Each structure stands twice: as C-alpha cells, then as structure tokens.
Amino acid sequence: MPQTELKQAVPDFTLQAGNGQDVSLRQYRGKRIVLYFYPTDMTPSCTQEACDFRDYNSRFKELNAEVLGVSPDDPKMHSKFTEKYELPFLLLSDLEHRVCELFGVWQLKKLYGREYMGVVRSTFLIDEHGKLVKEWRNVRVKNHVTQVLEALQELGSKKSGNRTSGNRNAAKRQ
C-alpha cells in the first residue's frame, strides 16, 4: 500500500480500539480527524501527549475534530491507559503496523546504540473529505497540541471565510 501524501485522500483503514470496537476512518467523514501516532502506552512522553489531547478535547470538538491515537499496543493495554487517564477519545491498536507504515511512521530507531523498529511520534490532520491537509513528524510533546489547534483554527477560518462571503451574496440577492 502506498504512503499517504499531503493534499491526497487518505485510504480507509480499520483498527480495533481499546473499547473492543472496530473503527474505520470512513466513520468520521464530515469531521476533521487528528490522528496521532505514539510509541507505547504508559510511558512519560506518551502519557503527557495523551493527557494534553485530553485536556483540550472540548476545543477539538468545537472545531469539528475527533482525536484518534494509534500505537502498536494491544487493545487491552489501550483500555487500561484510557481508563487510568480518563481519555475521552479512542486509542487504536495497530499490532501489524499496517497503518503506521501507511503514514510512514514505522521506522528504524536508535536508543543507546541499539537499533529497533518503532513508531516515530507524528500527528496528521485529515479534513472533512478525508484528505490529508497537515502533518507533524518527529513531534516534541511540549506545545504540540496547541500547534494542532492553531492549524485547525486556520483551516476553519478558511472554510468560514468562504461561507461568510457566500452569505453576504445571498443577503444581497434578497
């Protein structure tokens, strides 16, 4: 399967969530998706990132966006992580790394001289029509969520700017 590219439609995929449900990207058509990939549950940086998304979840909802987290952890681990930190969004389990590979985040990593394959922390913004409109790769957790919110607001202002001019024209016609 080819990798996703900016301004292109993201291929549909289905993964199991921590709540046991199968979740497909197509279920979210009409909404914006903040799809974030992280290495593993219960580690300090991954916990901080999840809690940052949790703390701003109502703001994401206001901007017509759903947050979805993806890691190679199994659904049971996601369930424990979600429960422990009261996460209001779904965590998806990519055990076979198919979706991670689709987004190019399953890569060779190095830690203390040891090489291994793993997830490179990254976030992708998908618009209401299923197109990839923004990506952040090799994410640093600090201030990342505010960067994503700013991008969503910018995307929203472009859309609402178009609606406003259309409404003005409609008012003139009356």
Any residues with CB less than 8 A from the CB of 145 and at least 6 apart, and which? 49, 52, 53, 55, 56
Per the annotation, the verdict on 46 as an active-site residue is: yes
Q: Are 34 and 57 in contact (CB under 8 A)?
A: no
Give whole-number Cα distances, 71 to 112, 119, 135, 165, in Å: 22, 7, 17, 42
CA distance 10 to 30: 14
Of 15, 23, 33, 46, the active-site residue reads 46
d(CA 35, CA 112): 29
DSSP letters, 73-87, are S-HHHHHHHHHHHT-
In the chain, the amino acid numbered 32 is R
Q: Which residues are catalytic?
A: 46
